[in-house]
Amino acid sequence: MIDQGLKNMELLQSPSDLEKLRKSILAKKDPNAPAIAICVSTGCEALGVKSDLKAFEEQLKKHGLEDKVEIRETGCLGFCEMGPRIVIYPDEIFYFQVKARDVPDIVSKTLMNKEAIERLFYVDPITGKSARNLSEIPFYKYQNRLLLDSNAKVDPKKIEDYIALGGYSALARSLYEMTPEQVLEEVKKSKLRGRGGGGFPTGRKWESTRNAEGEPKYVIVNCDEGDPGAFMNRALMEGNPHSILEGLIIGAYAIGSHEGFIYVRQEYPLAVENMQIALEQAEKYGLLGNSILGSGFDFKVKIHKGAGAFVSGESSALMTAIEGKVGEPRPKYVHTSERGVWDKPSTLNNVETWANIPIIINKGAKWFASIGTEGSTGTKIFALAGKVNNTGLVEVPMGMTLRDIVYKIGGGIRNGKKFKGVQTGGPSGGVIPEQYLDSPVDFDELAKLGSIMGSGGMIVMDEDTCMVDVARYFVNFLCDESCGKCVPCREGLKQARKILDNIVTGKGKEDDIEKLKDIAEATSAAALCALGQTSANPMLTTMRYFKDEYEAHIKEKRCPALVCKNLISYYVDPAKCAACTLCSRNCPVNAIEGERGKIHIIDQAKCTKCGTCFDVCPPAFRAIRKLSGEPVPPPILEKNRWIKKDKKGAAN
Amino acid sequence: MSINRIDRIIDKYGCEKGVLIQLLLEIQRELNWIPPEAIIRINKRFKIPVSEIYRVASFYTALSLKPQGRHLVRVCAGTACYVRGGPRILDSVERTLKIKAGETTEDDKFTLETVNCLGCCALGPVVEIDGQYHGKLSSATVAKLLSKYD
C-alpha cells in the first residue's frame, strides 16, 4: 500500500504540497475505524509479541475482519515491564501482558462487541485498582511525554503516519519561513542542552560548527547508546525515526551542512532497520536529498553501524570510527565542532537532542523553555530499572525529584524491600543515597551530588544490593572498555579494580579506602577523555555515602547486603526446611544432602555459592538463609533430621 | 572459505572512504567470523595495511577473529540485569555449556559472549540467542531454554 503511494507520488515541492499530502492521508484515515496497535519493539518482542501478532492475524481472518481492522505495529510505549502491550482503537482501551491465548477473546469481545476485558487491564500492585486508560495508571499519570507520546501513534515503518501527525512541518517552516540564523537563534533561546550526558548547550555547539572554517561540514546523530541501563535512544529510533531525521535536517540547515551520519550501535538491529526505511521514504518524498521540499537546500545522510565499543560513544572517538578507524578518543584542544570527521567541522548530538528540535521549532523556544528548570529546560527520558516496581522509560520535566520518579512513577521498591540508592548516569555516574531523594533531577543538581545525568539511566538499588560490589562492577566495566591510549585511565582503573576485587573477596586492607580515593582522583584529573575523567564517580560516591559497607567488608570480612560470594555462606534453616528435595535436585554440584522427609544439609566444602537453592526454595518455606560475618551453625544431629510420619521410622 | 563471497561483500562497498568497519561487520554477519583470508583480501583491494585491519578487527567486540559456533548466546551484563541477578545467569549458562564467556563449545554448537547492554533493561536479566531476546530469566529457566537448541 505504501509502495504504491510512493510510486505515484511526485517529489514534494513546497510546504503546501506537504500540507496537501497530510490532508489526503488524513482523509483516507477514519478515526473511528477499529484498529489494533501492538508494540513490536525489542522489549515486547522478548516477551513474545510475535506470537500475539500471528494470533491476531489468524483470528481476524477467521472472523472475516482482515480488511476491516488495521493492525498497527508501533514502537515502545515505555512500560516494558508490563508488555506485551496493545491498544484497541477507536476506544483507546489498553491491555497489558497480552498472551496469544487472550487474542480470540480480544477479537470476539472487544473488537466485535465493544466489550472490554477486565482481566487484561493494568492492575495497580499497590492499590489493587484496575485502569482502563493511561491517565489512570500512576506510571503514566505523572509523566510529560513530549517525545515518547508519538510512539504509540505511528507505525515507524510508515512515513505517512508521521506526516499525518504534522511531521516535517517544522522542517517546512524552517526552510521557508526562517533563515538558518533564525533557526539557530531559536534553538539557543530554548536553552536546550545535549541529552547524551555532557549537557552542553546545543545552540552553542551548532554555532561553533557554523562559524568554523572548512567545508564540508557534518552533522551526526549519536545512537551509540553504550551506557548499560539506558535504552531511550533505542526506543526513539525504533519507534519514531522520522522525528530524529527531521531534527537532523533542520540542524543541518541551521549549521550549513549538507552531509550527515547516523551512528547506531549494531546491538540495535531494529533501530538500524527502521532508520534505513525512514531514510528511503523521506528521500522518495523529497524530504531528503537534493532541494528538499523544493527549497534548494540539499542534504544527504548515511547510517554507520558501531561495532561494539563503549568508548566509541565519546564524540571524538565516534568521529574516528565514522572514518573507518579504531574508535579512540583524541585530545580536544580543538573542539570536534570545529575539527571533527576528516578534520572538518562536525556537530554531534544525541538522538534525544535531535528529536527535541522539531518540537522547539513548532512550539517555539519560549514554550519549550517554560518546561523544566532555569538551567535545564524541557523534558528528559529516563530508563527506570533495577529493584523498582514499575520499570521502563519515563519522560518527565527536568527538575522532578528523584523521590517522585522512584515512588510516584516507579511505584516504590519491589517486594517491600528497603530503598538504598539510585544510580544515575551509567558507569560514569554515581549512586545517590536516600537522604538526597528530594533533590530535583537536572544537569546541575546531579553534578552537585557527585553524579551525572549521563544519557538518563536510572537504576534503583535496594537493601540487597552491595555498594562495594556495584563500584567494582562499574570499575570493571570501565577498565574493560578503556581504550588504553592514556596511562591514567588504563593503569589507574586497573589498580582500582585490583583493590576492589580484594575488598569484595575479603582480602581488603585498612588503607584501601584512602588508596582508592587517591587513584580515583588522579585518574579523573589526568585522563584524556570523559570515560577516564568521570570514572571516579562510582567509586567516590559509594565511598562517600556508603563508607560503612566498605568498612564491613574490610574490617569484619562481612558483606551486609549478602552479595559478595566469598564473604557469604548458604545454610538450610532446619526449623523451616520441609525436606521437599527441590534444592538438592537443582544443586549443580550436588552439595545438598537429604531426601524426602529428611531435613537437608549443605556441604559447605562443596558449595560454590551459586544461589540456585536460594532461588528454588518455595516462598512458603524460605528455608535457605544467607549468612555473612558469622559462622555457619553446625549441622543438626542425624536423629533429628526426619520430619513428619517418617519420624517414627527414624526412632525405630 | 570462499573468496567469492568475500569479494561480493567488498564489491558492494566499492571504494568509498571509511567503509572498513561496515565491511568487517558484514563479513562477520555472513561468515560468523573474520577469517584471515578476508583480511588479506581487503588489504589487496583497498590497500589498507594488514596491521590496521587487524587493529580494527581486534578492537571491536562485535568482530571475532575466531570461528564461532552455530548459535551465539549473549548474556547481558548491563547494570540493570546485573542488579537483578545477571551474574548468576551467566554462571548457569557457563555451567550448562561447560565453557566460559568468550569461548565456543567443542562441538561448535554454541559460542558464549557477554554484552554490555541489550537495551531491554526493564526485563532483566536478559539473554539473546541468535538475535532472539529472552527476558525475565532465572538460572533454572535459562538452562531449560538452552536445551531447546540443536
Q: A-chain residues within 8 Å CB-CB of B133?
A: 42, 45-46
The secondary structure of A325-347 as a DSSP string is: S-------SS-TTTS-GGGS-EE
Neighbours of A622 (CB within 10 A): 11
From the list B18, B56, B80, the residue facing A385 with the nearest CB is: B80
Say yes or no: domain B71-146 is CATH 3.40.30.10. Answer: yes
- Nearest Cα neighbor of B42 from B19, B59, B68 is B19
Question: Which residues does residue A372 pair with via DSSP β-bridges, in sequence order?
Answer: A377
- What does DSSP say about strands A218-223 and A259-265: parallel, antiparallel, or unpaired? parallel
Cβ distance of A308 and B91 shorter than 8 Å: no
Q: Are strands A346-350 and A379-386 parallel, antiparallel or unpaired?
A: unpaired
Within a 10 A sphere around the Cβ of A23, how many other Cβ atoms? 11
| 3-state SS class at A165 | coil
Average pLDDT over residues A518-536: 94
Of the listed ranges A6-10, A295-299, A350-354, A449-453, the one predicted with least confidence: A6-10
Q: Is the CB of A612 less than 8 angstroms away from the CB of B123?
A: no
For A193, A223, A224, A295, B29, the CA distances from A310, given in Å and listed in that order, are 22, 12, 8, 39, 20
The reply to whether B15 touches chain A by the CB within 8 Å rule is no
A1 has pLDDT over 70: no
> What SS3 class is residue A33?
coil
**Nearest Cβ partner for A459 among B79, B120, B126:** B79
pLDDT at position A610: 85
Query: Can the peptide bond before residue A216 be classed as cis, meaning omega within 30 degrees of 0?
Result: yes
Integer Cα distance of A84 and A48 in angstroms:
7
- Grid cell at residue A452: 551525572
B58 touches chain A (CB under 8 A): no
Segments of chain B assigned to CATH 3.40.30.10 = 71-146
What pLDDT sits at residue B1?
Answer: 55
What would the pLDDT profile of A460-501 be if each residue is shown by its tens digit? 999 999 999 999 999 999 999 899 999 999 999 999 999 999
Q: Of residues A426 and A201, which shows the higher confidence score?
A: A201
What gap in Å lies between CA A257 and CA A215, rounded to an integer? 9
In B, minimum Cα distance to A43 occurs at: B120
* Mean pLDDT of the A25-29 span: 92
Q: Tell which phi-psi region holds residue A315, choosing left (phi > 0), alpha (psi between -120 and 50) or beta.
A: alpha
pLDDT one-digit tens code per residue, A31-62: 888 999 999 988 888 888 999 999 999 999 99
- Produce one character per residue of A310-348: b if its CB has 16 or more CB atoms within 10 Å, e if not: bbbbbbbbbbbbbbbbbbbbbebeebbbbbbbeebbbbb
Q: Are A304 and A313 in contact (CB under 8 A)?
A: no
User: For an interface test with B, which of A42, A328, A468 has the most B Cβ atoms less than 10 Å from its Cβ?
Assistant: A42
Helix or strand run (H / E) with residue A350: strand A346-350
The C-alpha atoms of residue A426 and residue A516 are separated, in whole angstroms, by: 20
Q: Which amino acid does the sequence have at A413? A: I
- The nearest alpha carbon in chain A to B92 belongs to A610
Residue-level pLDDT at A289? 96
Instruction: Write down the pLDDT at residue B85.
Output: 85
Residue A5 has a pLDDT of 46
Model confidence band, residue A2 (pLDDT cutoffs 50, 70, 90): very low
A580-608 pLDDT, tens digit each: 999 999 898 899 999 999 999 999 999 99
The four Cα atoms A328, A332, A333, A336 give a dihedral, to 10 degrees, of: 110
Give exposure, A354-386, as e/b (b: 16+ Cβ within 10 Å).
bbbbbbbbeeebeebbebbbeebbbbbbbbbbb
pLDDT one-digit tens code per residue, B79-112: 888 888 898 899 999 999 999 999 999 999 999 9
Average pLDDT for residues A158-168, to the nearest whole number?
A: 96
C-alpha cell at A56: 491476531
Please determine, for residue A646, whether its predicted confidence score (pLDDT) is greater than 80: no
CB contact under 8 A, B116 and A477: yes
Chain-chain contact of A42 with B133 (C-beta, under 8 angstroms):
yes
**Inter-chain contact A307–B24, Cβ cutoff 8 Å?**
yes
Q: Which of B75, B117, B145 to mutate to test the interface with A (most CBs of A within 10 A)?
A: B117
Of B21, B83, B131, the CB nearest to A465: B83
* Least trusted range by pLDDT, from A274-288, A523-537, B131-145: B131-145
What was the pLDDT predicted at B58?
92
Chain-wide mean pLDDT for chain B?
A: 89
Residue A287 carries which DSSP code?
A: S
- Per the listing, cell 520441609 goes with A578
pLDDT, average across residues A14-20: 96
Is the model's pLDDT at B17 over the cut of 80? no
Q: Decide which of A556 and A125 is more confident.
A: A556
pLDDT range class, residue B61, cuts 50, 70, 90: confident
Q: pLDDT at position A647, please? A: 45
Which ipTM value was assigned to this complex?
0.86
Give the separation between CA A627 and CA A609, rounded to whole angstroms.
11
pLDDT of residue A123: 87
Average pLDDT, chain A: 92
Given CB atoms, is B47 within the 8 Å cutoff of chain A? no
Label residue A645 by pLDDT band (50, 70, 90): low
Closest Cβ opposite residue B123 in set A47, A234, A308: A47
Share of chain A above pLDDT 90, in %: 75
**Exposed e or buried b per residue across A564-574, where buried means at least 16 C-beta atoms within 10 angstroms of its C-beta:** bbebbbbbbeb
pLDDT of residue A106: 94
pLDDT at A268 over 60: yes
CATH 3.40.50.11540 fits domain A159-369: yes
- Shortest CA distance from A320: residue in chain B: B18
Using alpha carbons, list the distances in angstroms from residue A636 to A375, A583, A604: 64, 18, 14
Helix, strand, or coil (residue A215): coil
- Mean pLDDT within A310-322: 89
pLDDT tens for B36-52 read 999 999 999 888 999 99
Q: What is the pLDDT of residues A350-368, one digit of tens each?
A: 999 999 999 999 999 999 9
Whether B123 sits inside 8 A of A46 (CB atoms) is yes
Do you find a cis peptide bond into B125, omega within 30 degrees of 0? yes
**Out of B18, B59, B140, whose CB is closest to A309?**
B59
Residue closest to A483 by CA, chosen among A428, A539, A531, A429: A531
CATH 3.10.20.600 is held by the domain A379-465: yes
Closest CA to A44 of A101, A92, A100: A100
| CA-based nearest residue in chain A for residue B61 | A308
Contact at CB, B20 and A325, closer than 8 angstroms: yes
Surface of B (60-119) touching A: CB under 8 A: 60-63, 77-80, 82-85, 88, 91-92, 95, 115-119
> Any idea which architecture A468-555 has in CATH?
Up-down Bundle (1.20)
> Per-domain residue ranges for chain A?
31-140, 159-369, 379-465, 468-555, 567-651
Confidence label for A9 from pLDDT (cuts 50, 70 and 90): low
In CATH, the number for domain A31-140 is 3.40.30.10
| CB contact (8 A) between residue B133 and residue A45 | yes
CATH fold for domain A567-651 = Alpha-Beta Plaits (3.30.70)
